[in-house]
Structure 1
Amino acid sequence: MLTAPQSLLRDRLLAALSVPSAADSSDYDLDDLAPGAAELRPAGVLAAFDSAGRLVLTKRASSLRNHPGQIALPGGKVDPTDADTVAAALREAREEVGLDPAQVEVLGTLPAHRTVTNYAMTPVLGLIRGEFTPVTEAGEVEEVFRVPFAHVADPASYRIERRRWRGTWRSYYVAPWGPYYIWGATARVLHALALRLNA
């Protein structure tokens, strides 16, 4: 059974999912750069909101080869045993933060986002039914935290910053929350969701 905040949130998220999208996004589009012709690997990430309407996010372990220490949605690449990106997101969320897929009501998916590491990352929107106590996967997740829907849904929470990367200036979205620096692909897909929620 959904809580009252989740029932309202469900309606807003479903409305956001119905907003037409012009195209997929990428880590290159803020600078109008050509991403190249590398083959993209499919991946799924779970944007799930708990019983209080808060988004579950992780801080990746600093020992990881890709995106160490960064803030991320639970998720990862599609394995051969996964039916699709939704299945991959649910499986990875179970592995990374101990979320039982049976607790998740999947509402739909947002357009895929191309990352600089050549993943086609599909955000899966969902609601977590009942109480959820995270259990982190040692070596992959350093911390699990939650961000209020109001912060995620407000376009004013996001800004564009720039830094040097591989010899050129690159632009990216950030949406800091307390001590957490939400940026890059995660901030990009959340910003896209915020725009849909306010369309």
Structure 2
Amino acid sequence: MTRQDFEDPFRPDHFFDRARKLLLPLETPLAARPNESVINPEFIPPRGFISRDAAVLIPIVERSTATVLLTRRTLQLRKHAGQIAFPGGKIDPTDADATAAALREAQEEIGLDPAMVEPIGGLDPYIAGTGYRITAIVARVAPDHHLVLNPAEVDATFEVPLSFLMTPENHQTISRDFDGVRYSLYEMPYDQHHIWGVTAGIIRGLYERLFR
């Protein structure tokens, strides 16, 4: 084994060791987590804002150098059509917790078998302007996983090297106006893919918790 093997933080064994130490425990109850985002600190809830709980899965594929599995939402969706996203959605009353919701949504959207997934830990909530308090669950995914996309929700998946997403020089900022309010958002262009908004904000949160 070379010295580089020991120093590479994106080898799966090294990355998951770090993640287990620094991520929030999976058993942390939703009610015990802060009702504000530490990832999106400039977000000011408008009057009458009500947060609803949602969960997404951050699937880290266990390749020789770890990758992150992302989806592209179908163009037929009423909201966020064509955007790059993690598999996920709102937490249903039947879900035991955020982890259960994230695993269920990943199976429904891209056919990811929960047996191929090992949840590791969570991030601090991300408060989206759409009214969702999003809990992101980081998980190890076996490299021989098989996907079956739900065409009503997802039209493609792709993998991005974790090292690219965890390099702060790749984290650009943009400004967008929504309902008369100007927001600063992250974007991380990768090949032909435009990763931005909530997805990029969650990725930035992963970087800040594990590598900053």
* Equivalent AA in structure 2 for residue 166 of structure 1: D
User: Which consecutive segments of 4 or more residues in structure 1 shift more than 6 A?
Assistant: none
Provide the residue aligned with 1:60 in structure 2. 73
Unaligned runs of 5+ in 1: none
Residue 24 of structure 1 deviates from its aligned partner by 4.0
Unaligned runs of 5+ in 2: 1-9, 25-32
Residue 9 of structure 1 deviates from its aligned partner by 1.7
1:90 to 103, 126, 131: 103
Provide the residue aligned with 1:16 in structure 2. 22
Tell me the SS of whatever aligns to 2:19: helix
CA change 1:24–1:38 in 2 (3 A) is closer
Tell me if structure 1 keeps the 8 A contact 2:108–2:150. Answer: yes
- CA-based RMSD: 2.2
The alignment of Structure 1 onto Structure 2 pairs a total of residues equal to: 193
Tell me the SS of whatever aligns to 2:204: helix
Residue 104 of structure 1 deviates from its aligned partner by 1.0
In the TM superposition, what are the counterparts of 1:74-113 in structure 2 within 5 Å?
74-113=87-126
Tell me the SS of whatever aligns to 1:136: coil
2:37 to 25, 39, 43: 25
Residue 41 of structure 1 deviates from its aligned partner by 1.4
Give the TM-score normalised by structure 1.
0.88
1:121-155: CA deviation from partner (whole Å, max 9, x where unpaired): 10001101241132111110011111101012112
Residue 63 of structure 1 deviates from its aligned partner by 1.6
Give the TM-score normalised by structure 2.
0.83
Residue 22 of structure 1 deviates from its aligned partner by 8.7
Identity %: 36
Residue 14 of structure 1 deviates from its aligned partner by 2.1
Tell me if structure 2 keeps the 8 A contact 1:45–1:75. Answer: yes
Q: Does 1:129 align with 2:142?
A: yes
Provide the residue aligned with 1:50 in structure 2. 61
Tell me if structure 1 keeps the 8 A contact 2:34–2:125. Answer: no
